[in-house]
Structure formats: structure tokens, C-alpha cells
Structure 1
């Protein structure tokens, strides 16, 4: 294979259009041919002089780099005519910015940390769906929920992303932990069943097994898998331990709530939830109760601001939305109406 082929592969690498087969071919060329070894050695020396290790690699001194490459190549008396030709091609690439000092980093990164490909499943308010993963684990989604799982799991853990509420029944596999990542916290399990509410309640409720819950900022677990910071499961869990703002371990019958101060509050859990058509509210603000009712039933509900600080402790089992709302109205001393055009329920304060 000639140097033009190397150039073509380098250009495809820089434009991120290179295929896995071509990437392997380029790597083999750069490590086996004498000319390419020399080029790689020069690039490696210069790369080590600056630590460029970001996802968006830029280097503003391409012209300076080109000149230094020229000087080093010209000083080497053993350079052959063929390598001189290769130098002109490489210098041209450097001049237009195709050969940055991040080349080696990009080559290694693309091969060791392939992009994660996600499959997303979502539900509307009042809708439910059940997902079965390749390992036999099942996930049941409540209304207004988004779940993303890996199309092909190429990392040493099982990983899903959740925005909303879902009940998990995870197949046990101690060699491959299961992580549920959300905006505010990450849940680690091996084999267990539990419920997670990432947005309204910010809770984790355990039915069986054991889970560890980490309060994380900006989905730390996803960052670890996407940028190659942790290529082994033990590295990833270790980094989660070090970067968490708070961790709790939960056993069956326990529930963790992440409060507004990003602190965990652990309490007892009675094992019944929306999956059993049972809604349990323990001293919860009425606006939050109605948000959960909207997610579960799918009916839009408006509320008077006068009820913002009204708390509720109540359980609904197998009730329809109108029955739930009528009970809440009685307890809050309000009135219930429904707009026939918009189909929106409204809880208003009774005028004296």
C-alpha cells in the first residue's frame, strides 16, 4: 500500500468518516511501515509536549508545527526519497489544519471508546409501556416518561437513562452492574426490583435486593462512559464514589428522597405504587399531588395559586381521576370545574 492510501485514511479520520475497518488498517500501517513509523514517532514526540485531551481538539499553531516537522525531517540524513514525498503530503495537511497534535489522541480514542448508540422509548401522560432488555430485565414506564437504553452494550456495565418514573425488575448479574442515570442521581443495582421517580418525587423505592444511590451533578455516570474516563466497571464505580455529593444504600422496604438541598432522606416504603393502581401521598404539597395524578391519568389539571402551600396525606387505590379530584377538592375546601372545550380540570378557591 502506498503513502497516498495513508493520506486518504488520515483525511477520513480527521473528518470522522473513517470506518472501523479503515481505522484498523490505518493503525496497522502506522505501526508496521518504516516511513509511517518515522512519521508517527515525530507526531508522538510533539504530541507529548502539549497535553491536548479534549473532545473538541483544536490547535492554533499548525504553521509552527509544520515548520518544526520540516526541520526535524531535514536533519535526518537517513530520510529516503519516498519519505520526503510523504513529508510534503503531511506538511500540506498540517498547513490546512488536517494534521493537528491531537491526531494520536483521536486515533486511540475512536478505537477504545466508540460512541454509545441509544434507543429511546417514551410515554405520554396517562400511558404505560413495558420494556424487556436483552438480559431479561424488565422496565415498566409510567406516563410522561423517557427511557434510553444501549442498542449494543459495548461497555462493562448495563446502563440506561431515565427521565420520569419507572419500575425496574433487574436480572441478577454480579459481573455486570446495572446503572440507572438521571439528571440528579444515579442508581446502582445488581439484581433487584425498585421504583424510581426522577423528576416530580425524586425518589427511589426498593421492593427487593439492594441498591446504592449517588447524588451526582450533570449525570456523572454518563460522562464517564462517553469520554472514556472509566473503561472498567470498578473504575467507574470508584469515580462515582469519589464525586458523589451523597450516597445511600437501600434495602427492601426503604425509600430515599433527594430534597431541595441535594441531601438524601431515608424512610420506610410500603411496597405499593402506581403499578398497583395505588397512589400514596404522605404530607405532600397539593401541586405535586396533581402533577403525579396528571402523569398517571393523563388529564390536565390547573390549580389556584392559593393552594400552593396545601399539603395532603392520602391514598387512592383503583380510583378514577374524577374521584381523586373530588376527594382532593373536599379536603382542600375548594371547587372543581372542567372546561368543556379544553378538557382541563381546575381546582379553584371557593369565593366567600
Structure 2
């Protein structure tokens, strides 16, 4: 039934030059046969994924029927995985569905699934219990070099909170939220209200990302980002993960966090440039350089700093903003130190004033830096 997938193949051929057969050779482990698990399992079967292993332990209740699309009134009281398997088979008999009645709560249980049912290519985390399930999935996926995706609901928010692709990006353990997982994860007993369309929207987005990962045509912007869709105002936002500095204990990736305390570092670099340009302006004021020589020197320094900022920030707009601010600071200093020529202030008194001013700046800068590093030290210990 090659014509079954002709429209899907036609869509992906418009944008991606990849072999669709890659999808039909995949085995996916779906953890959870609830609202999200139903939609993703159904969607993957329509894509023609070769094998679906679905793990759940729950039975169908009347409260499930408003959003779990594969279940009907006659299914109430039955095991979700068995009903899901039967319904998927009716949609696509070419897809092998393996139902497993289990509440996954350890890495060992995932190891047993692989040992009994064969290797898997992808994991879908569509459950939120036990509370540390993401840590379990992450540890297993990293050790077996398996990609995974995790999503769920939080009130009116649809959240894709983890996308892991081996050797690309970071794993869940790389994030500093890992230390306080209990603060950011819902309790086992939380029952969030959910509308019929919420799992359809989130499940569709997650399925689309899974297929793109299979085809290798995903955008790297997916890496190290969480995605949040607000059902109230239909705003889609992404949040960059805050990573722990140093080597991750799970994936062993060495995370060099460059953007930590970026404002403080930019401030210190800016002050250093101002002091340097101020020194040049001071030498000009006492007759060591002409005005033209001074401007050329500062122009040269500005070009060096512009190149440095562009390389460090990887952002041309931010670099230009910094350079404009720095040159403005220089011009103020230049006018200040040359002001003595207009008021005929004696050189020795003027030099004493400048020295006092520079000493005061250094002392204040030292106090600011000391306070900053003490605060940083205590925040790390906490």
C-alpha cells in the first residue's frame, strides 16, 4: 500500500530531500497510553512507523473520554494498552503494536523492555509519574544513545520540555534544574484539567518533531530549548536551558557556559576600555599626543574591541551597541581632560585632580568586583 503514504511523502519532498523509508524502519517506545500517548501513537502509525511499544498500567475511566481519542464508552474498565493496540491495528495493520502492562519506575525496567522486545530507536515520554521519570528516561537514553522527547500539560500551557539527540546538544542532567527536580515537577496526585484539543495540538507538534529527527532534517534551534504554547493567548515561546558548568555526570559532556553573568563581564570589559581610552586622553591633555594622534589611537582601539565583541557575543547588533557606548564614553573623557585648556588650569593641579579621580575609580571598581565575586561565591555554595 505504497499509495497510502503518497500524500505524506509528497509533503516532505517539498522541503526535505530525504528517504521516507527511514520512518518505516523505526521502533518507538511510547511511555504512557493517556491523552498524549494516544495521539502520538495514532499519528506515528499513520506515518507507517514499523513498530510501537506502548507501556502503561492504567485502565480506562469515564473521565478519560473527553481527550483520549482512541477510547469509547464501551472501553471503560479495560486496560488502555490493549484497547490502544486494537485500535491502532484497525488504522494500520502494517504497524506492529506491542502492549506492555507496566508502570516504568527504574532504568532496569527499561533495560528489561529492550532485552525482551528488541532495540528501540526513539522514546516518547508521555507520562509524568513517577516524579523522577525524566531522570530515568534520560539516563537510559544516554547510555543506549537513543533520542527522546518529553512533553506535558501545566494548566493552560502545552510544554515540550526535553528533546535529546545523542552527541548533539545537552541531556536533562546537564541542566541545573536537575538538582531541584521536586520543585519543578508536578506531584504524583496532581490532576490537571485538560480540554479535548490540548493533547491533539501538543501531540501533533511532538509527532512532527519526531519525524524530522528520523529524517535528519530538524533545525538545531530545537536543541537545548524548551517550548511552551499558551492556550489562552496562543503565544508560542521558547526558553533556553540554563546548563550546569563542567562535565555532566550522565552524558559526560563538558558544558562551558559562556553566557553566565554576561552583564557583569560586559561591564568590567567596558570599564577597562574606558580607563584605557581615558589614559590616552590624559596623555593628550598633557601634550604627549596631538588631538589627531589621540583620535587615531582610540579609533584603532575601538576597531580591536569591535572585533573582540563581535567574536565574543556572536551578535553584530549587541557589538555595535557596545562600541557606540564605549566611544561615547571616550568622547566624554576626552572633553573632560582637555577642558583645562579652556580654563587655563595649571598642569600640576590638573594632574593631581586626574590622579585622584582615577584612584577613586579604581577603588570603586575594586569594591564592585569584590562584592560581585563574594555574591557569586555564596550563591554557588547555596
Do the two structures share a fold, i.e. TM-score over 0.5? Answer: no
Q: Normalized per residue, which structure has more strand?
A: 1
TM-score normalised to structure 2 length: 0.24
TM-score normalised to structure 1 length: 0.25
Q: Normalized per residue, which structure has more helix?
A: 2
